[in-house]
Amino acid sequence: MYSETRPWGAFNVLDEKPGFKVKRLTVMPGGRLSLQSHKHRWEHWTIVAGLATVTVNDHVQMMAIGQSLDIPLGAKHRLENLGETDVEVIEVQFGDYLGEDDIIRYDDIYART
């Protein structure tokens, strides 16, 4: 459907209908999404390539290909790639509003607000 580049890599929107959106995130080595939360959506992440470091609230874990997790509405979360190859994640967003402006950033190495 469409793609966007970010400082950490890129995402492609694969499908979007009322109530859900499906993305493929590609996080380059050394890339780190902001520590963030959402007011209107929750997410489900499945790792499809690489080894990701995932933070949800105070829990940090390594996730490999085939592993997945749910990110509850309002949870602070982050995805990092500390490895040497790209990390790819299928992200499914659910909620009544799925715009990119539904991001509350708490920490961002790229100085975005």
pLDDT value of residue 108 = 84
Provide the domain limits for residue 48: 2-107
pLDDT value of residue 5 = 95
Residues of the chain short of pLDDT 70, as ranges, are: 112-113
- Burial of 8 from C-beta contacts in 10 A (0-12 / 13-18 / 19+): buried
Count: domains in the chain: 1
Strand 2-6: give its sheet, edge to edge: 2-6, 9-17, 20-27, 87-95, 41-49, 68-71
113: in domain: no
- Burial of 10 from C-beta contacts in 10 A (0-12 / 13-18 / 19+): middle
12: in domain: yes
- Return the CATH number at 59: 2.60.120.10
